[in-house]
């Protein structure tokens, strides 16, 4: 691996944090830039920030992820998810370095009865999904050899995600009501980060053309949001943690500003076939995540970075997209 650093766009989001932690663990030179040093909405300033760092690879793990708020902040969602992503990709293309961009299952409308493949026609239901789909096209136009990774239902011990939401609701309410008719692939941010760093190494040593384009990469296995919550509470109960009663509700009973796809399942077989990358079972990875949270204390992550992410619309991909009701 080159001594030039991997540059991570984003710093406080759960995927960005996992990328940074793993890179440091493996003695890989890495720089993660947050909003203080790296204003994604000032596209013209990106090159002057990146040039002195001389990165070997750029990983775009930053995005506007406030799914419901995006319905009323359309311009900002597109400015960050499309225009800023394209500007970053253009810088990487000018510097002749690999560019990895993170996208989402929300580019699909969820009407397909099977898992979505890369060849399926996108049809986003909400502004967030539309902005991410536009970002994919803009990135590939700016950097024809870019690798776009679509993932889904990302969780980790960090920040704002479904697992941490369930842990918070567990303490606050005797009954937790969760949607049971939306399907997807829960994805550990740590697993995803490991795969992305592995891919970044290959992009530096192999023909980038074979790894260019769009790939689906999500945890193995599928479930509903209710099934995900059930697995979380079952694992907590086995650890002696008190858990609430879990109640299944329909999407119609959980009204949000932005519509969510009923089917978010992604077929990751192309990533395994072409990239040689396959993520572990979401159930196994969930157990690892809960081990970290329980050992450190359920509320151990209430640090400044965690609170910044919960209150920011610019953070790691997929944060804040959980389908639990907020008023349980």
CA distance 125 to 134: 13
Tell me which DSSP letter residue 272 carries: I
Mean pLDDT of all residues in 236-264: 92
* Cα 100 to Cα 121, 137, 256, distances in angstroms: 22, 13, 31
Q: Give tens-digit pLDDT for 22-38.
A: 999 999 999 999 887 78
* Cα 250 to Cα 107, 144, 208, 253, 323, distances in angstroms: 22, 41, 44, 5, 10
Residue 53's CB: how many other CB atoms inside 10 A?
A: 13
Report pLDDT for 297.
57
Report pLDDT for 40.
82
Report pLDDT for 298.
52
Torsion of CA 251, 116, 93, 193, to 10 degrees: 70
Report pLDDT for 296.
63
Query: 293: pLDDT confidence band, cut at 50, 70 and 90?
Result: confident
* Cα 14 to Cα 76, 116, 128, 210, 317, distances in angstroms: 21, 24, 18, 28, 8
Mean pLDDT of all residues in 176-191: 96
Q: Give tens-digit pLDDT for 134-172.
A: 999 999 999 999 999 999 999 999 988 999 999 999 888
Catalytic residue among 64, 116, 128, 155, which?
128
Burial status of residue 250 (CB atoms within 10 A of its CB: 0-12, 13-18, 19 or more) = exposed
CA distance 22 to 193: 8
Question: Across the chain, what does the average pLDDT equal?
Answer: 88
SS3 string of 82-120? HHHHHHHHHHHHHHCCCEEEEEEHHHCCCCCCCCECCCC
CA distance 227 to 203: 36
Tell me which DSSP letter residue 195 carries: H
Residue 268's CB: how many other CB atoms inside 10 A?
A: 27
Is pTM beyond 0.85? Reply is yes
Report pLDDT for 311.
28
Asked whether the beta carbons of 286 and 270 are under 8 A apart, the reply is no
Query: Is 128 an annotated catalytic residue?
Result: yes
């Amino acid at each position: 691996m080159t001594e030039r650093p991997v540059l991570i766009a984003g710093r406080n989001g759960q995927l960005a944090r996992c990328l940074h932690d793993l890179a440091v663990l493996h003695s890989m030179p890495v720089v993660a830039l947050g909003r203080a040093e790296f204003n994604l909405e000032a596209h013209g300033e990106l090159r002057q920030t990146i040039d002195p760092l001389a990165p070997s690879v750029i990983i775009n793990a930053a995005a506007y992820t406030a799914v419901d708020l995006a319905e009323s902040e359309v311009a900002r969602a597109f400015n960050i998810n499309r225009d800023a992503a394209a500007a970053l990709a253009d810088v990487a293309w000018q510097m002749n370095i690999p560019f990895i961009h993170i996208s989402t299952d929300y580019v699909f409308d969820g009407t397909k009865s099977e898992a979505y493949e890369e060849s399926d026609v996108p049809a986003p239901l909400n502004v967030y999904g539309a902005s991410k789909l536009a970002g994919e096209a803009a990135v590939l136009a700016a950097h024809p050899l870019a690798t776009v990774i679509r993932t889904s239902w990302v969780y980790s011990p960090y920040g704002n995600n479904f697992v941490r939401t369930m842990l918070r609701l567990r303490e606050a309410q005797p009954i937790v009501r969760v949607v049971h008719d939306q399907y997807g692939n829960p994805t550990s941010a740590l697993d995803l980060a490991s795969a992305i760093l592995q891919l970044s190494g290959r992009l530096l040593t192999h023909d980038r053309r074979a790894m260019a384009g769009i790939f689906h990469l999500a945890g193995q296995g599928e479930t509903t949001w209710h099934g995900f919550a059930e697995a979380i509470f079952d694992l907590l109960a086995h650890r002696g943690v008190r858990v609430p009663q879990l109640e299944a509700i329909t999407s119609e009973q959980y009204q949000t500003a932005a519509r969510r796809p009923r089917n978010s399942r992604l077929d990751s077989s192309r990533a395994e076939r072409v990239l040689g990358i396959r993520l572990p079972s979401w159930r196994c990875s969930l157990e690892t995540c809960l081990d970290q949270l329980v050992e450190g204390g359920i509320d151990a992550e209430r640090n400044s970075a965690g609170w910044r992410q919960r209150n920011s619309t610019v953070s790691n991909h997929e944060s804040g997209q959980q389908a639990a009701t907020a008023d349980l």
